[in-house]
A and B are shown apart, each in its own frame.
Chain A
Amino acid sequence: MAKAVIEALLARFPGIVHDAYEGVGGDDCALVEKAHIAEVCRFLKAEPALAFNMAPYITAVDYLGADPRFEVVYNLFSTTHNHRVRLRVKVPEGDLEVPSVTPVWRGADWFERYCLDMYGICFPGHPDPRRLFMYDEFVGHPLRKDYPLRGRQPLVPEREVKDIFRGPGPGGRD
């Protein structure tokens, strides 16, 4: 449907956008070099012919045992052209920093926090890099494949309230 999108990307970012393929059901997909993802996204949003003005879903996958281990998946959508594209960014275990796209789409905010929380992938440039679901005292990243399914972590002891937002617990991280 949107072959033009992939072609425009390949033409604009040779070497950065690579391995374009047609996914199951005809989705347009491509892999993007990690360091340039924000740049590619900014282009996708700004270019009128593409106009990807929405980032409906960003998530991460842990391909344990593969190298690079992680992957961040950007599902992008344009309401004006009604086309979608899926960008995948490989993230090696030793370098878990992916440029944030929250400055591009504010809707990416919680998705990136979610990836941080569940997979431990950091997004430099994110305005509010905190865990999303888990509490601050939680150790580890639950959706990583090597996190035990029935792992138990002890209750956090109640401490003096220093900060009404943080509540009981060590303050200062907010």
Chain B
Amino acid sequence: MATEGKGIGGHDSLATHGGSGTGQPALPAGARIPKAYDGPLDAPLMGKQMVVNLGPSHPAMHGVTRAVVTLEGEIIKDMKLDIGFLHRGFEKSCENVTWGQCFPYTDRLNYVSSIMNNVGFALAVEKLCKLDVPVRAKYLRVATAELHRICDHLTLVAAMGLELGAMTVFLYGVEARDLIYDRLTEICGARLTSNYVRVGGVARDAPEGWGERTVETLVRVAELREMIDALLTRNRIFVDRTRGTGVVSRADAIEFGFTGPCLRASGEPYDIRKSAPYLVYDRIDFDVPVGANGDNFDRYLMRMEELRQSDRIVRQCFEQMEPGPLVVADARYVFPPKPLVYGTIEGVMAHFKLVMEGIKVPAGEAYSYTEAANGELGFYLVSDGGGRPYKLGLRAPGWPMVAALPHVMRDVFLADLIPTFDSINMIGGEVEQ
């Protein structure tokens, strides 16, 4: 790629001092950002430190997060994050409803990719129940989850472009995302709050011709994706703002507990779909992109590449999927079919007990983790053998990244906070539970 010609890495005497467009080569991983001035003559006059309050309702703070930054000129000297504005007591709520009733709550964690949360939770419960779901349900789970991964990454890329001034990108991204949402609506009836997965399988089969329509949709999504790629990846402004900013070294990323694209952007090739394959990921051929610099640009590139890989995964799912049952045939965990509920005493009893008391998950505790769009989505479940979770601990993928933000954003420009905040993709729904 002839990036040099486009100005990437080239010297630009007009670029902002200290920005990556000023001619320095791309920073090695883990390097500290250089001081914002070149010599003593350039040094800014020492001034009073200023405290600026960003958010909780600020266009650049996703959702409602509040950042209090102490500025010296434009340089962030200290930063404190104040979260919890979106705290809804997810865990407490789930501990007071039946296992099955938790699914709608999980939809609202990462509301851009709800089926991934459904899958994560269902796998955790199935781990406790020692259930193995039918193969078709596994493929449907993977296909819908990967579609949602595409949605999630498109949202990130689109919002990142928007917040760095590229409105067009946002429109393309959201158009592509909504095309996928239309397909997901066809299969589960909702754009965002899908509630599609069940303990023991999935709620319903794909409608007639859904696979073909989805593949057609993916073609259009791919066109939009490539347009976004063309608009952003070599865009001088975008690269200036993202390259070399928000750098997290590989060691730091592990230390902070980063997972998912943010960890891989720092050079750690860790993807749960590869290292501990679940569902049918071991039967599917896909690559895991890994970055080198751990900066915002790499995190963006991870998303762009994962968009392509998810596209591959979904297509392979449709190729490999075969007709079959959608749920395990076990009345202890899954509702009997409605004709049996209305017509036989066995069916109505199972239905009654499952609705009124919930499935009886064997007593025990388990930690189950899946690769969600932003990283490891973990559920630590404790069951007392009753119909409701005794404890449901959520390990939100975005949590460590947000927690690390004040450490990463030290001695850097205030303006770099915005792309960094974008690229770690904080989702208030899951981080603040």
Contact = CB atoms under 8 A, between A and B. Distances in A.
Are A and B direct contacts in the complex by CB distance below 8 Å? yes
Interface in A92-123: 105-111, 118
A57 B255 contact: no
Interface in B80-94: 80, 82-84, 87, 89, 91-92
B401 to A, nearest CB: 10
Contacts of B378: 56-57, 75
The B interface is mostly helix, strand or loop, or mixed, namely mixed
Contact of B257 (A24, A105, A143): A105
Nearest to A59: B393
Given A133-B87, A164-B51, A24 B254 contact: no
Contacts of B432: 133
A153 interface: no
A57 B395 contact: yes
Given A143-B92, A165-B82, A75 B256 contact: no
A105 B255 contact: yes
Interface string B229-270: 000000000000000000000000011111100000000101
A104 B89 CA distance: 29
The 10 tightest CB contacts between A and B, nearest first, are A107-B257, A133-B84, A57-B395, A59-B393, A110-B403, A133-B87, A24-B366, A107-B256, A165-B68, A61-B391
Contacts of A143: 91-92, 95
A167 to B, nearest CB: 8
Given A54-B257, A75-B367, A110-B400, A149 B96 contact: yes
Contact of A27 (B255, B367, B407): B367
Interface string A74-93: 01000100100010000000
Nearest to A64: B390
Contacts of B407: 106
8 contacts: A24-B130, A24-B365, A25-B366, A53-B254, A75-B395, A105-B257, A107-B400, A142-B92
Interface residues of B, number: 48
Interface residues of A, number: 36
A23 interface: yes
A57 B254 contact: no
Interface string A18-61: 00000111010000000000000000000000000111110101
A132 interface: yes
A110 B87 CA distance: 15
B202 interface: no
Contacts of B433: 133
